[in-house]
Structure 1
Amino acid sequence: MKAAFLVEPIVALYAFAGFLVWPLVSQYVYRRIWVDVTNTSYPEHDNTSSGPGCGQNHTMQNSTGNHSVYSEEVQRQASLFFLYSDLFTAIPSLLVTLVLVAYSDQKGRKFTIIMPLIGGLIFSLCFLAVSFFELNIYLLVAGSLASSVFGGPGTFLGGCFAYIADLCEDSKQKQVRLAGVDMVIGLLSGVASISSGYFIRGAGFNWPIFTSTLCQIVTLLYAFFLLEETVKQPADGTSEATGRCSTMRKMFFGIYQMFKALNRRDTIRLVLLMLVMGTLVFAYAGGGSSITLYELKEPLCWDEVLLGYGNALDTTKYLLSFLLLLVLTYCGVPQLLIILIALLGVMFGLGLIYIADTTLVMFLVTIPLLLAVMPFPVLRAMMSKIVSPSEQGLLFGCLAFMDCLSVNITSAVFSSLYAATVSWCPGLSFLLAAGLCLIPITLVGVLAMLKDADADADADAAGEAEGLISAEVEPSFDEDMHS
C-alpha cells in the first residue's frame, strides 16, 4: 500500500467527526439536566418559535417567574458540569501534550497524531454508551478523563503542524499551508455543524454519535497505514538507547535548550509571540466557552437546528481567514498588521455578544469573529522561523501545551463566572473576554516597536560597516594615484 505525505485528509475527517459530536455534548447535557431539574421531558418546538421556555411553547410552566427559576438553575448546573469536566481533564491533557509533541522530534510525528485519535474514539464510544443506555451523564467526565490520557485536539494539531513544518522549507509556503489546515477544519466542521442539528431532530443523539465514531475509525486507519513518517530513524538501530536518553533530556530541559540557543533579540521575540498566542486563546476560548448555553437561554432560546446553523456560520471563519490571509500574504502586508486586524475583529465581536438579544443580532455578531483564526498560522510561522529545524516538534509541543493550558484555565474561569452571573448579567463573561483582547493587542504593539528598533540598529550597523570599508579603500586609492 502506497504511503502519503498528506496530513490534510486526517485533519478533515478529524474535524468532521469532532464537530459532529462536540456540539452535541452541550445540548445533551443541557437536556438531561433539564429533565432532572423540572421532572418533565424536554419541550419540542420549531425554528420560528422563540425556543423552549421563551413563552407560549413551554408546556410545563405555570408562570414566567417559575420558568426563569428553572432555566437559571439548568444553566447553572450545566455550566458547573463543564467546569468539573475541564478540571478533571486539564492536568493529564497538558502533560501528555507536551511529552508527545516533544517526543515526536525523536520518534516521529505519526505517534503524536495517532494517540489523540485513539483518545477521541474512546470518548465517542463512551458518549454513545451514555446516550444509548441513558447512563449517568457524569460518566462523560470519566470518558473525557480517559481520552485526555491519550492527548487532545491540541496534541493532534501540534503533531500535524510539526509534520507540515518538516515538509515546508520556505516560510511563506509554511504559512500558507498551515492556514490551509485551518481552512480544511472550517469546511468540514461547518458541514458537520449543520448536519448535527438535523441529525438530532430526525434521529436523536445516537446516530450522529455513531457516525462520528465511524469517521474516527476511518481516520485512525488512514493515519496508521497510509501516512508516511517525516522523521526518519537511523538504519543501524543504534539510536534506540541514546534516543531514550535524548528524549528524556528534551522533555525536561528542551525548552531551556531551545531558548539558550537563541540570541537575546530572538528570545524576546519568541516569548512575546507566545504570549500573544496564549492571551488570544485565553480571551477567545473564554468568550466561546459559554456561547451554546447563552444561545439556549432567554431571550434567544435557540433549538438544535439554529444551533447547528450558528456553529456552521462560526466555522466559516476558517475559510474566510484562509482566503484573506492568502490575499494579504501575497500582497506583502506585514505579518504583525495581519495579526492586529484579526485581534480588533475578535475584540469587537465578543463585545457585541453582550448586547445580542435577537437571532438576527446573534448571527451578525459572528461577522467580526470570522477573522479569529487568521492570527494563528501567522504566529506559528513566525515562531517556527525563529527556532532550528530540529526543534520544530519541541516548539509546537510547547505551543500545544500552552494552548491546552489556556483553554482549560479559561474554560474553568469563565464557566464558573457564567454560573455566578447568569441570573443577573449573563453577557458579562463575553464583555470581560473582549476586554482581555487588549493584552495581545498591546503585545503586538511592543513587537512592532522592537522590529522598528531592530531595523534602525541594522541600518546603523550597515552604515558603519560601509564607512569602515570606505576608510580602508580610500587610502590605498590615494597611494596608487601618488605612485
Structure 2
Amino acid sequence: MAPSVVSGGEFKPRVRVRTGLLELIVVVTYAGLVSYYPTIQQYLFHRMLDEKREIGASHSHNGTSSLGNSCYNNTSEEQEAEEMAERESAEWLLYIGLSNAVPGIFSTLVIGAITDSRGRKLGMVIPTVGTMIKMLLTMLVVKLNWPLYVLLIAGFLDGCLGSFGTCFVAALAYLADVTEPGKTRTFRITIVQALNGVCASAVSLGTGYFIRAAGFFYPLVVALVLFTLVVFLVVLFLPETVEPSDDPIMSFNRLTSTVKTYIKPREGNKRPQLMLLLLAYLLLEMVLIGKGVLSTLFQMGFPFCWRSVKLGIWSAVGTTVQVSCMLLLLRPLTRCVHENVVGVFGLLSEIGELLMTGLAVNDVMLFFAPIAGFLSSMPASMIKSVSSLLVGPNEQGSLFAGISSIQLICFTFGSSLFNTVYASTVSSFPGLVYLVMSCLIFLTCVMMGAVEVLRRKSDQTAYFQPIPTVGEDSDVANDGDVADNN
C-alpha cells in the first residue's frame, strides 16, 4: 500500500476504514483501563487499611472489607490508620507503576517504530495481549489474596509487551494514515480524546456502584472481557494501512529511528518546535499521571473520606463537564486562533483546577475544581496534533512512539516525585502536591507560548521568501518528484 499523500491539494488516505471503527477500538480499550485503575487503587487502600486494623490476615479482600465510610469516627487511632494506609498504598502504586514503565520505555520505542514498516495492527494487538496477562494476574491477587509482589510481576510483563501506551501510539499513527493533515486531523484526535472522556464518565460511575455491590474482583473480569473484544475487533475487522516490509523486526535502527525523528534537521523552525512540544508534553503528562494516581487516595483520605460511589460520581461529573466544553469550544477556538494558543488556554484552565483542588477543604470545592478546569482536556490533543504536522507521513509511528515513551518516563519520575511529596505531607498539608503540579503546568504554558512564537516567525520568513521563476519552480518540482521516487 502506498502511503497517504497530498497530491494536487487532494489528500489520499491509505485505506478506507469503516466509520467509527478505530474510535470504537480505542474507546473499548480505554473502558477496560478505567475499570482497572480505580479498582486496583481502592483495593490497595482497603487492603492496607484492613492490615492496619489487624483484619487482613483472616479477611478476604474480594470487596466486602471496609467498603463503608471508615471516617465514621474521627478518633486519632482511626485517622492514623488511614494516613498509614494512604502512604503504603501510594508506595505500592509507585512500585507497580515503575515495574510497568521502566520496560515499557524501551518496548514502546521498538514496537512504535515497527508499526511504520510492519503494520499498525501489530502495535495494537501485542500491548493488548500484555494487558490481558496483567488482568489475569491481578484477578488472582484479588480473588485468592496472593502477595502484592505478584502485581509487580504483572506490571513488568505488561510493560515488556508495550502496555496501553503503545496501543494508543499505533491507534494515533493509524489515525494519521487515514486523515488529512490540519484541522481535520486535529478534530479527529480531539474526538478520540472526547470519546475516551465520555467513556471514562460512564465507566467510572458504573465502577463505583459495581465495586460497592460486587467487590473488587468482578470489575477486573469486565476489564478482561473488554480487552479480549479489542483483540477480536483489530484482528478481524480493522484493515491494515501499512504494507509490511522485509526489514528485520528487531534491529538497532528500530530503537534509534524514534530518536532521529526528533533530532534530525528540518526546514524552518520545525525541529526546535518539535523539541519544545516534546518537553511540554513531558511536563503535562507528568502532572496528569501524578494527578490520576493520587486523586483517589487524596479523596479517600481525611477530611473527605470518599468511597467508591462518590469517587465515581465525582469522576463522571468532572469528565462530562470537561469533555462537553472541549466538544463545544474546539471548532470555534481553532477557527479563531492556532492550536498552540488553544493549548495555552487549556493549560491555564488546568492550573485553576489544580489550585482549587490543592486548597479544597470540603466536598463542594472538590466538585467545583473540574469545572475550573473546563478546558484542561485540550492541551494533550493540541500537542499531538501540532507535532503530527511537523513530521512526514512515514514518521507518524516513530513520532507517537516517542510521545508514548515520554509518557512512561513521566510516569517513572512523576510518580516518584508526587508520591514522595504526598507521602511526606499527607499528615500536614495533603493538597501541597497539587500546588507543585500547578507550577509545572505553568512551565508547560511558557513552552507552548514559545512554540507559537517560533511558528509565527517561521510563517513570516516563508511569507517574505522570493517567489521562484517559472524555470526554478519547474526545477523544484522535478527535484520533489525525484525525492518522492527515491
Could you tell me the TM-score, scaled by structure 1's length?
0.87
Letter in 1 for 2:382: V
CA distance in structure 2 between the aligned counterparts of 1:102 and 1:70, rounded to whole angstroms: 47
Q: What is the CA distance between 1:391 and its match in structure 2?
A: 0.9
Provide the rounded CA distance (Å) in 2 between the counterparts of 1:266 and 1:116: 31
Choose the corresponding residue for 1:312, options 296, 303, 316: 316
- Residue 10 of structure 1 aligns with which residue? 25
The equivalences for 1:181-200 within 5 A come to: 181-200=192-211
Cα 1:434–1:444 change in 2 (3 A) is same
Distance in 1 of aligned mates of 2:324 and 2:281? 20
Question: More displaced, 438-447 or 107-116?
Answer: 438-447
Q: Deviations over 1:29-64 (max 9, x none)?
A: 00111111111474453xxxxx322xxx24xxxx72
Indicate the larger mover: 168-177 or 105-114: 168-177
Q: Counterpart of 1:106?
A: 117
Which residue in 1 is equivalent to 2:9? none
User: Is 1:324 equivalent to 2:329 in the alignment?
Assistant: yes
Opposite residue 177 of structure 1, the aligned amino acid is R
Partner of 1:35: 50
Provide, for residues 391-410 of structure 1, a one-character-per-residue CA deviation record: whole Å limited to 9, x for no partner. Answer: 11111111111112112220
Aligned counterpart in structure 1 of residue 180 of structure 2, from 153, 169, 186: 169
Cα deviation for residue 202 of structure 1 reads 1.3
Structure 2 unpaired stretches of 5+: 1-15, 60-64, 470-486
Residue 213 and residue 252 in structure 1: after superposition, are their counterparts in 2 closer, same or farther (change >3 A)?
A: same
Of residues 404, 424, 427 in structure 1, which corresponds to 2:428?
A: 424
Q: Structure 2 CA distance, aligned partners of 1:106 and 1:227?
A: 17
Q: In 1, distance between residues paired with 2:468 and 2:27?
A: 52
Q: 1:48 maps to what in 2?
A: none
Provide the C-alpha distance between the structure 2 equivalents of 1:305 and 1:190, rounded to a whole number of angstroms: 13
Is the CA contact (8 Å cut-off) linking 1:4 and 1:228 kept in structure 2? no
Name the amino acid aligned to 1:327.
Answer: P
Structure 1 contact 101–159 (Cα < 8 Å) conserved: yes
User: Which has the larger displacement, 253-262 or 22-31?
Assistant: 253-262
CA distance in 1: counterparts of 2:413 and 2:86, whole angstroms: 20
Is the aligned partner of 1:383 residue 2:387?
A: yes
Tell me the secondary structure at the aligned position of residue 269 of structure 2. Answer: helix
Q: CA deviation at 1:349?
A: 0.6
1:72-116 CA-partner distances (Å, limit 9, x unpaired): 111111111112112222211111111111110010000111112
Shift of 1:455: 3.9
Per the alignment, do residues 258 and 94 of structure 1 end up closer, same or farther by CA in structure 2, a change over 3 Å counting?
Answer: closer
Does structure 1 retain, via aligned residues, the 8 Å contact 2:113–2:255?
yes
Determine the C-alpha separation between the residues in 1 that align with 2:386 and 2:332: 18
CA distance in 1, matches of 2:192, 2:357: 28
SS of 2:219's equivalent in the other structure is: helix
Quick check: 1:182–1:319 contact (8 Å CA) kept in 2? no
Q: Is the 8 A contact 1:102 1:251 kept in 2?
A: yes
Q: Report the residue type matching 1:11 in the other structure.
A: V
Distance apart, 1:333 and its partner CA: 2.3
Do the aligned residues in 2 keep the contact of 1:100 with 1:155 (CA within 8 Å)? yes
Alignment of 1:75-86 (within 5 A): 75-86=86-97
Matching residue's letter, 2:164: P
* 1:138 corresponds to: 149
Per the TM alignment, residue 257 of structure 1 is displaced from its structure 2 partner at its CA by 5.7
Q: Say whether the 8 Å CA contact 2:118–2:242 is kept in structure 1.
A: yes
Alpha-carbon distance between aligned partners in 2 of 1:97 and 1:64, rounded to the nearest angstrom: 48
**1:421: Cα distance to partner?**
1.4
**Preserved contact between residue 120 and residue 174 of structure 2 (Cα < 8 Å):** yes
**Mapped pair 1:348 → 2:352:** yes
Counterpart residue type for residue 315 of structure 2: N
Once the two structures are TM-superposed, the CA of residue 117 in structure 1 deviates from its matched residue by 1.0
Bigger shift: residues 290-299 or 169-178 = 169-178
2: distance between equivalents of 1:381 and 1:445?
16
* Contact 2:102/2:412 (<8 A) preserved: no
Q: C-alpha deviations, 1:229-273, integer Å up to 9, x for none? A: 11023xxxxx42xx1189642422452266325135111111111
For the aligned residues, what is the CA RMSD? 2.2
Aligned equivalents of 1:285, 1:254: Cα separation in 2: 23
Partner SS, residue 437 of structure 1:
helix
Shift of 1:439: 0.8
**1:221 equivalent in alignment to 2:237:** no
Letter of the aligned partner of 1:19 in structure 2? V
Structure 1's 323 and 405: CA in aligned 2 closer, same or farther, altered over 3 A? farther
Q: How many equivalent pairs are there? A: 444
User: What's the counterpart of residue 292 of structure 1?
Assistant: 296
Give, in whole Å, the separation in 2 of the partners of 1:226 and 1:456: 46
Tell me if the contact between 2:300 and 2:307 (Cα under 8 Å) persists in the aligned partners. yes
Measured against aligned partners, the alpha-carbon deviations of 1:446-475 in whole angstroms (never above 9, x if no partner) come to 22322333344344445x999xxxxxxxxx
Alignment counterpart, residue 52 of structure 1, candidates 67, 70, 91: 70
TM-score by length of 2: 0.86
**What letter is aligned with 1:52?**
S
1:435 to 2:446 alignment: no
Query: For residue 106 of structure 1, what is the amino acid of its counterpart?
Result: S
1:414 aligned residue: 418
Name the counterpart of 1:73.
Answer: 84
CA distance in 1, matches of 2:242, 2:271: 26
Deviates more, 1:425-434 or 1:2-11: 2-11
The share of aligned pairs that are identical, in percent, is 26
The answer as to whether partners of 1:86 and 1:412 remain within 8 angstroms in 2 is: no
Structure 1 residue 279, shift from structure 2 partner:
1.5
Spell out, residue by residue over 1:1-21, the C-alpha distance to the aligned partner (whole angstroms, 9 max, x if none).
x98573111111111111112
Cα distance in 1 for partners of 2:379, 2:212 equals: 36
Q: 1:368-412, CA deviations, whole angstroms, 9 ceiling, x for partnerless residues?
A: 233222112222121111111111111111111111211222012
Q: Which amino acid aligns with 1:92?
A: P
Q: The residue matched to 2:418 in structure 1 has which SS?
A: helix
- SS of 2:430's equivalent? coil
Please say if residues 102 and 408 of structure 2, whose CA atoms lie closer than 8 Å, have aligned partners that are also in contact: no
Residue type of the partner of 1:328?
L
Instruction: Give the distance between the partners of 2:264 and 2:30, measured in 1 at CA.
Output: 37
Q: Distance in 2 between matches of 1:307 and 1:79?
A: 17
| 1:141-160 equivalences in 2 (<5 Å) | 141-160=152-171
Distance (whole Å) between structure 1 residues aligned to residue 78 and residue 70 of structure 2: 10
Verify: 1:201 aligned to 2:212, yes or no. yes
